Amino acid sequence: MKTISSRQNALFKRVRRAIDEHAEEIVMEGPKAIDDAIANGWKPIAVVGREGAPVRGLGGEVLLSAALFDSLASTVTSQGVIALFERPSFGDLFADRDRIIVALDGVQDPGNVGTIVRLAAAFDAGGVVLLPGTADAYSPKSIRASAGAILTVPLASMTGDELLARDWPLFAADANGKAIDPPSRGAVIVFGSEGDGVSPEIAEGATRIAIPMSKRIESLNVASSAAVLLARSYALR
């Protein structure tokens, strides 16, 4: 198998672009995430190994020199293999009234965004709406945190007005809200930033839900809040 060692190589540049811009193509790191994606029916455009790493027989494999590979990948999580996939596209998130939709409003940490995408898959949400100020869900850090769910969960970037125009019932996670059960279908649950919560235009029309907890701490991490409410919503179906 040929080993690519030039930065001018077209495939190298294409992978680099997918990592930086992730506009039409995205990169997944590590054998587990790649195998999961393939098991879910996704076909990699290319599987890229690090020179000296074992070839995995997945097809479409290419080797990069160690220096070139390390300039691309987070070596901690890639374990010597990354793969290029087409960025998924989906129909309307709001098509299925039997599901809930998750919306993220100013969630800045890409790790939290990816973790919540994973939770959306786990608890069978219709998709995740990314409101302004939310980290890019297709960034490498978010893709990693999604543990493969990034390929299967419909995502849509929207403004607050666009979300409101959908006219679905809105619920907002809010420590000052009421300790009620979350909706189990046909509604949007919005999670805001840890510091500022959900933005006023969204909060105004939303039912605010608090998670019952002790007074030993002020708030939960946003991904923890999402885990609690989405799991409960799913259990109530």
CA distance 38 to 148: 10
The pairing of strands 81-86 and 46-50 is antiparallel
Query: Which CB, 7 or 237, lies closer to a second copy?
Result: 237
176 touches a second copy (CB under 8 A): no
Q: Smallest distance, Å, CB 233 to a second copy?
A: 11
Query: Which CB, 16 or 232, lies closer to a second copy?
Result: 232
Query: Which CB, 148 or 160, lies closer to a second copy?
Result: 148
55 touches a second copy (CB under 8 A): no
123 touches a second copy (CB under 8 A): yes
The pairing of strands 127-130 and 155-157 is parallel
Given a contact cutoff of 8 angstroms between Cβ atoms, the answer to whether 153 and 116 are in contact is no
Number of residues binding to a second copy, judged by CB under 8 A: 33
210 touches a second copy (CB under 8 A): no
Mention every residue, 6+ apart, whose C-beta is less than 8 A from residue 66.
Answer: 50, 51, 52
42 touches a second copy (CB under 8 A): no
Mention every residue, 6+ apart, whose C-beta is less than 8 A from residue 170.
Answer: 163, 164, 187, 188, 190, 202, 205, 206, 207
216 touches a second copy (CB under 8 A): yes
Residues in region 10-39 near a second copy by CB under 8 A: 36
76 touches a second copy (CB under 8 A): no
Per CB under 8 A, the segment of 23-31, 64-72, 157-165, 213-221 that binds a second copy is: 213-221
Q: 3-class SS at 158?
A: coil
CA distance 21 to 178: 41
147 touches a second copy (CB under 8 A): yes
224 touches a second copy (CB under 8 A): yes
Q: State the maximum Cα–Cα separation within the chain, in Å, rounded to a whole number.
A: 61
CA distance 231 to 237: 10
- Can you say how many angstroms the Cα of residue 52 is from the centroid of all Cα atoms in its chain? 31
Per CB under 8 A, the segment of 11-19, 23-31, 45-53, 117-125 that binds a second copy is: 117-125
Q: Smallest distance, Å, CB 195 to a second copy?
A: 8
Interface residues toward a second copy, by CB under 8 A: 36, 111, 115, 118-119, 121-124, 145, 147-149, 152, 211-214, 216-221, 223-225, 227-228, 231-232, 234-235
